[in-house]
Structure 1
């Protein structure tokens, strides 16, 4: 035990051993340099008697025996030596003295080979050997002062934050499986990200360049098409994802029970025309209300946070009444968004009598008619001008042409007519195109989220650039209808800016699967809390002149702290997956690097064929 008495006893034994080592070395000098000592008149009869008695032990029977014995005693004394620990002391410095002293001590016999006076030879040998002895002793003392427990080897605590991850490939007819590798206590191990239940929604986040599309979304597209999903893709930077989908579709279309058709909605490079308001898809006036709200809020994103205000709801109601009138007029012959935009531009004295011929919209149109009859023109203009000005931004020949056609319908998971639909946006025109594409998506979701349809996959790249009010309802209810949703965002703050804080939090919290690349700030903190904590080892070091005290403990710390999420490399992802009642996953959380075969993907991209205009 490390008591005061034991420490004092150890010190005395160490001192005695070292003294014996020094005495033995001095006797070695006396015997093998005897002629010099005799010349210096430093010989004593009683010392000769002692040496004669020691000669029977064989200690001085050979030149190296006594010298080695003295060195061994020195080593023993150094083992028991406890010097004051020094954090700044380097191992190289201690070894330099120790090894240098050993070499000098061992090779000092060469001084005896010099042909000069014996007295000078003795002085050289004694001096060199003593210097080697002192250097060895000094180096050993420094070694004892080294701190044996080094705490600075993992300054970023990376090894302590590693944890076991799922290494099995869990695959089913719906799953998305991404090969990966992860670090477990310094060892690189293979793993799998198994999204076995994509119908609980997948949220892919990451700053630009984190690898969302290249490492995750492209595999969602290719694997779901291989498993015969119908698909809708919102391609923000057309045709980054559409070209992948088209060439994968060509590769696997023969696997479908009914071969699907491939359609593209693109306003700059027109492929197909589709009317999102075709009358057969609108069952009652609530469909017109939802279409109106989606379009108006898509054009005026700041209105999203002001829903319920008079000057927000009034223009929405006005557009609703116009759309529903066109739906009812001559069986919906003119029920298109371009017709609705042009009809809204008519003079009030011509427009209101026409709209009042439809009884179902009397409640919606009555406040506008009353304001007109009573001469409240400023209020009326304030209500209707907002709708006119917003919708007028869609007045474009290309938009009109695409929106008024009927090349296909939006029921993409119809078992009798399955479809792959790609909707392309343009970052330079995203505010206008995004509103129209939001309308397409809103109408498409209404038709897709039904029972007894084919399994479908809805992929939204850069989701905040469109407005879809009922995305939380889709995620919550579409699971039973085999609708898998994948949302790509750069940061949760984007959702908060474009959808409002409450809606953004709902979207972020109800998704069952999440894969995130590098994100910072509140997003990183929110994800870190979601991933939970793991037990990590902690060590502390206390240094004093007598000993070094090391304390070890275990603490629950964040499995993936926000700082780690904020410094992820491209291709490195964290996240958690949801399991299924029939397929349980214990290790849901992961922090790994997704493995892509870059050369194979490059060859695949080089072999892509462009999307033809008549791709259906």
Structure 2
């Protein structure tokens, strides 16, 4: 215990040790220069009787041993000494004092060989040795009073916020493995981001330029194609991802490659294939997807009368065409053209199908009661929205049937790319949402091929039931990857509730630089770690330093907001057969930039699937209009 008595006793021991050091130095002077002292009448019989016998002791045999003994006792006394610690003391000052002192202390021995009188040699030796002794003692006392703090060396607390990460490469037939580097206590170490269970959902986020596509999405595409996955890619900025997929598929093969592109027409596919719509609920899902995709503000108003009415209207059109002549005319272009028919003729046509009577009953009731304004409002919402899709090129792509949308059919696995254009994303996004909705219905089944669904800039399409797909498709070997820029983007386009479900249901999260609520949510999700804290208290008589540990965020929101391009934070999910203890990561993903550049230079362009001209497109456009005219005349 540090009582007053103990401190006083320690101080006495220190003082005695230093006194002993000085005493040995004085005795060394007396013995070494006894003739000089005698010549100056500075000797005494009593002193001689006490001191001269000490010359036989080992420490006084040579000058060097005597000096080393004095120095050793001085060092011991300095180690045990206490004094007010001072943060202003610099190592340079200490080194200067100690080095100069030692130099003078030991170099003084050279004066013993000088051809001078005994008195002069004694004077020079004693003065220089004593001066060196005092300098070294001053430097030593400064050394043990120096206050070494780390308070200013790590102003951003980087070292404290580092933590161990997974350094093993864990692979299986489904995994995605990204090499990375991370910092741990000031040292750079190699690590791996091991997404060993992609079927639990993947959310990739980051502001523009954070490196989502270059550092993450491209590797998901290449590794999953290499492992034999069938794939659906929503390529918002065609053909950034499609080109990667096509050229990777050329190396590995085994699957057909298709592109849905409304500007540079490649393949044709009918998202309303009558064979895939088993009951009217499928038609209702398709109608909801296309209408909410065209009117994104309706997503937050689902259930309102003037939102549900147009959806029911389009559902009735789809199901009628599905039932009419075995679904011969069941395509989205036919639905659009049928919606433009005068509602009086429309009633005559639709009342022939009993399954949709409940859907059109409110419209007929409004017509019979002469509520024409209400009826026009109900129908016009659908007409105006669908009219935006009235394009010869869209009609051409949507009315063909080059391939089916069951992309994970074991007999014919496919890689399908849905091409969008940022300048026309609102219109194209609605149609592509319909493709996604139909693919969702077909892939989430038992005994199918392993499948990967990748959505770049996910909020630009409307995917009704994405949470259900992530929650249930794991057992059916369907991996879903969603790329977003920010949580607020999801909230804007999907509503707060749906955005929260998407954010919380995915098992694997990889995020680059984001700010605001997104950064706070991620920081809380990653949890806290033990961090060392240091504080100093300085007063007039003493300086005290206290160190403690406390739990604090492993990756604070401010750090997430300042991530560099290619630097990601996140958390991975494991499975029962392959446990991962270190799930959280904060690292720099390592891309071989030169190898990727050379690979891209060798890429082939995606070949055109067909040669078409404007006449073909226009003839198809007119044929669809003629089909609807014939249906109307038949009733």
Q: Same fold (TM over 0.5)?
A: yes
SS at match of 1:400: helix
- Which shifted more, 564-573 or 443-452? 564-573
| The one of 251, 274, 278 aligned to 1:279 | 274
Alignment of 1:288-299 (within 5 A): 288-299=283-294
Output the CA distance in 2 between the equivalents of 1:247 and 1:265: 17
> Corresponding residue for 1:240?
240
SS at match of 1:231: strand
Question: In the alignment, is residue 565 of structure 1 matched against residue 560 of structure 2?
Answer: yes
Question: In the alignment, is residue 422 of structure 1 matched against residue 406 of structure 2?
Answer: no
Superimposed CA distance per residue, residues 208-241 of structure 1 (whole angstroms, 9 cap, x where no aligned partner): 2332222222222222222222111001111111
Output the CA distance in 2 between the equivalents of 1:615 and 1:605: 25
Q: 1:351 to 1:50 in 2, by over 3 A?
A: same
> Corresponding residue for 2:249?
249
- Which shifted more, 537-546 or 227-236? 537-546
Superimposed CA distance per residue, residues 293-315 of structure 1 (whole angstroms, 9 cap, x where no aligned partner): 11111121111111111221122
Alignment of 1:150-299 (within 5 A): 156-185=156-185, 188-253=188-253, 256=254, 260-299=255-294
> Corresponding residue for 1:131?
131
Question: In the alignment, is residue 603 of structure 1 matched against residue 587 of structure 2?
Answer: no
> Corresponding residue for 1:479?
474
Q: 1:470 Cα deviation (Å)?
A: 0.9
> Corresponding residue for 2:499?
504
> Corresponding residue for 1:527?
522
Output the CA distance in 2 between the equivalents of 1:173 and 1:11: 71
| The one of 322, 333, 339 aligned to 2:334 | 339
Output the CA distance in 2 between the equivalents of 1:536 and 1:453: 48
> Corresponding residue for 2:626?
none
> Corresponding residue for 2:628?
none
Output the CA distance in 1 between the equivalents of 2:72 and 2:443: 87
Q: 1:476 to 1:74 in 2, by over 3 A?
A: closer
> Corresponding residue for 1:79?
79
> Corresponding residue for 2:463?
468
Q: 1:109 Cα deviation (Å)?
A: 5.1
Q: 1:68 Cα deviation (Å)?
A: 4.4
Contact persistence 2:31–2:55 (CA under 8 A)? no
SS at match of 2:240: coil
Contact persistence 2:299–2:494 (CA under 8 A)? yes
Contact persistence 2:87–2:148 (CA under 8 A)? no
Q: 1:69 to 1:179 in 2, by over 3 A?
A: closer
Output the CA distance in 2 between the equivalents of 1:457 and 1:382: 41
- Which shifted more, 535-544 or 237-246? 535-544
Q: 1:8 to 1:488 in 2, by over 3 A?
A: same
- Which shifted more, 192-201 or 215-224? 192-201
Question: In the alignment, is residue 328 of structure 1 matched against residue 350 of structure 2?
Answer: no
- Which shifted more, 200-209 or 440-449? 200-209
Q: 1:188 Cα deviation (Å)?
A: 4.7
Q: 1:576 Cα deviation (Å)?
A: 2.8
Contact persistence 2:508–2:571 (CA under 8 A)? yes
> Corresponding residue for 1:316?
311
Q: 1:55 to 1:214 in 2, by over 3 A?
A: same
Q: 1:548 Cα deviation (Å)?
A: 5.3
Contact persistence 1:159–1:185 (CA under 8 A)? yes
> Corresponding residue for 2:622?
none
Contact persistence 1:263–1:615 (CA under 8 A)? no
SS at match of 1:368: helix
> Corresponding residue for 2:627?
none
Q: 1:471 Cα deviation (Å)?
A: 0.7
Output the CA distance in 1 between the equivalents of 2:20 and 2:610: 98
> Corresponding residue for 1:385?
380
Contact persistence 1:262–1:615 (CA under 8 A)? no
Question: In the alignment, is residue 449 of structure 1 matched against residue 458 of structure 2?
Answer: no
Contact persistence 2:534–2:545 (CA under 8 A)? no
| The one of 385, 392, 395 aligned to 1:397 | 392
Output the CA distance in 2 between the equivalents of 1:76 and 1:200: 64
Return the TM-score normalized by structure 1: 0.88
Contact persistence 2:532–2:547 (CA under 8 A)? no
Q: 1:591 Cα deviation (Å)?
A: 3.5
SS at match of 1:241: helix
- Which shifted more, 340-349 or 103-112? 103-112
- Which shifted more, 414-423 or 182-191? 182-191
- Which shifted more, 413-422 or 325-334? 325-334
User: How large is the RMSD of aligned CA atoms in angstroms?
Assistant: 3.3
> Corresponding residue for 2:360?
365
Superimposed CA distance per residue, residues 452-488 of structure 1 (whole angstroms, 9 cap, x where no aligned partner): 3222211111111111111111112222322221111
Q: 1:615 Cα deviation (Å)?
A: 8.4
> Corresponding residue for 2:620?
none
- Which shifted more, 271-280 or 186-195? 186-195
- Which shifted more, 23-32 or 69-78? 23-32
Count of residue correspondences: 610
Q: 1:436 Cα deviation (Å)?
A: 1.1
Contact persistence 2:199–2:478 (CA under 8 A)? yes
Structure 1: stretches of 5+ with no match in the other structure: none
Output the CA distance in 2 between the equivalents of 1:198 and 1:66: 75
Q: 1:230 to 1:57 in 2, by over 3 A?
A: closer
Output the CA distance in 2 between the equivalents of 1:497 and 1:27: 90
